[in-house]
Amino acid sequence: MEIKKFKISLKNLSKYFIYLLLFLFLYTPPIKLVPFSPSYLVIGISIVFVILKYRSFLNFFSDRNLIVILIFMLVITIYTFIIDLFSDYNDKIPLSQTYSLKWITLLLNFTVVNFFFISMFTKKLELKVSGVMEMFLILAVIQSFFVVLMIVFPSFRLFAFKSVMHFTDEKIFQPELWLIRSYGFSSQFLYPMPIFQGIAIMIAILYAYSGNYKYIYVIPFLLISILFNARVGLVVIPLFLLSIILLSLSTMKFKVFCKTFKIAILILVIVAILFIISFYIVDPSLYEFTLNWILGAFETRGSRTFQVLSTHVFFPENLKYWIFGEGRYLFKNNLDMYNSDIGYINYIYFGGLIFSILVYFSFFLLFILGFAKNKNFYMKLYLLAYILIFLFAQYKGIAFDSNAFTNAFLLTAVYIYKFKDETFSYK
């Protein structure tokens, strides 16, 4: 009897360990005691696992379609190495920000890390695709808990930033941003993390479609984790609604519209109630700063859009650079004459149309494979929304990178393609 209890506890420990590894892999909080990114720790564990299970690994990636994507990723990685090697610009930015290192990381994420987590999910935790999405949602809720904790207890936030984590990005500590941004345990406060939190909201709504409403009640906390870090995460919601409209019209599933309105009303009621209650818990001055910051996104929209277009959008003058790129890094490169946050522009200047097409095609091919093979409406909806999110996110920054929402897509897209799941169904 005692042995049986020990086995159960050991299984629970392995489950929590997998949750911890997935949290570190997605959010990559810069832990002070660890001299490298937590994602490298996960990659190292995954490589050891693949060596021990190399036959299963080869069998898993023996699929012809996955091999095609893998070849594209290998070509992209080699292409980035060649450009970095023969470019005069690669010494202006840290090695950790070069595309060659980033694409090696993405290649390893797609292969060894995906195999490690999928093996753990299927054999240790016995999860379907929807179960993996639920894990994402639970981790996002845990992150939201840390965000709320830091809002309510500023001393805890200060301790976390000074004693637990370390940052090299001075934007995190700019006085004008400190009050309204950078809450939680992550290294991706200003871009990937809020988008991933928005994707968690999307997953909560998918569960509501199938009659499981328990996650609807955590959406307000997910919204808080977005609003106190970066507004970009809010864009996931209208893009998800657009995906519902497009897919519902194309498949004639009009009953989804009625369900959507019911869920939306329920979310609004819950948000309103918690918002009123929170006024008695949180310092109202925080709301004033954050609300003004949110409203700033809608004020003088036309002039701001024109300003972004005039300062961040520019193109090479030489046709050769259009096709092959110049090897230039425009994002966070203060030593370059031009700077741009827009991912599309960054890709053109680095590797031209060749690099851009290879990157976009490899991701779209993975989307098409999962979309075509899986007949479940809500799995298709998830993939379609994700692609729209990518298209927008690449305008706000460099989306196709080793970050929370990209790594989550690679994991779930491969899972959807390899394993059938009918958990999500209309009720």
The pLDDT of residue 10 is: 66
Nearest to 83 by CA among 397, 260, 282, 326: 326
Helix (H, G, I), strand (E, B) or coil at 165: strand
- Give the pLDDT mean for 297-313: 53
The pLDDT of residue 284 is: 57
- Give the pLDDT mean for 135-145: 96
The pLDDT of residue 362 is: 94
Share of the chain above pLDDT 90, in %: 41
Check whether 342 has a pLDDT greater than 80. yes
Check whether 15 has a pLDDT greater than 90. no
The pLDDT of residue 103 is: 94
The pLDDT of residue 355 is: 95
Under DSSP, the state recorded for 340 is -
Check whether 301 has a pLDDT greater than 80. no
- Give the pLDDT mean for 91-119: 88
Cα–Cα distance between 52 and 292 in angstroms, integer? Answer: 54
Q: Which range (124-133, 176-185, 199-208, 313-322) has the least confidence? A: 176-185
Cα–Cα distance between 359 and 400 in angstroms, integer? Answer: 8
Cα–Cα distance between 183 and 190 in angstroms, integer? Answer: 10
Check whether 406 has a pLDDT greater than 90. yes
Provide the β-strand partners of residue 31: 165
Check whether 34 has a pLDDT greater than 50. yes
DSSP for 63-131, written as a single string = -HHHHHHHHHHHHHHHHHHHHHHH-SSGGGS-GGGSHHHHHHHHHHIIIIIHHHHHHIIIIIS---HHH
The pLDDT of residue 303 is: 45
Do 353 and 365 touch, CB atoms closer than 8 A? no
The pLDDT of residue 162 is: 84
The pLDDT of residue 166 is: 79
- Give the pLDDT mean for 224-252: 86
Confidence tier at 305 by pLDDT (50, 70, 90): very low
Do 184 and 229 touch, CB atoms closer than 8 A? yes
Give the C-alpha distances (Å, rounded to integers) separating 265 from 158, 216, 239, 272, 417. 37, 11, 18, 11, 33
The pLDDT of residue 316 is: 82
The pLDDT of residue 421 is: 66
The pLDDT of residue 325 is: 86
Residues 6+ apart with CB under 8 A from 181: 172, 189, 190, 228, 229, 230
Check whether 112 has a pLDDT greater than 70. yes
Opening angle at CA 237, ends 233 and 239, nearest 5:
100
Q: What is the pLDDT of residues 355-373, one digit of tens each?
A: 999 999 999 999 999 998 8
Check whether 290 has a pLDDT greater than 70. no
Cα–Cα distance between 163 and 219 in angstroms, integer? Answer: 30
Q: What is the pLDDT of residues 151-173, one digit of tens each?
A: 888 889 888 888 888 765 555 55
The pLDDT of residue 209 is: 82
Average pLDDT, the chain: 82
The pLDDT of residue 52 is: 95
- Radius of gyration in angstroms for the set of CA atoms belonging to the chain, rounded to a whole number: 22
The pLDDT of residue 306 is: 45
- Higher confidence at residue 6 or residue 67? 67
Token pair for 223: 């919204």
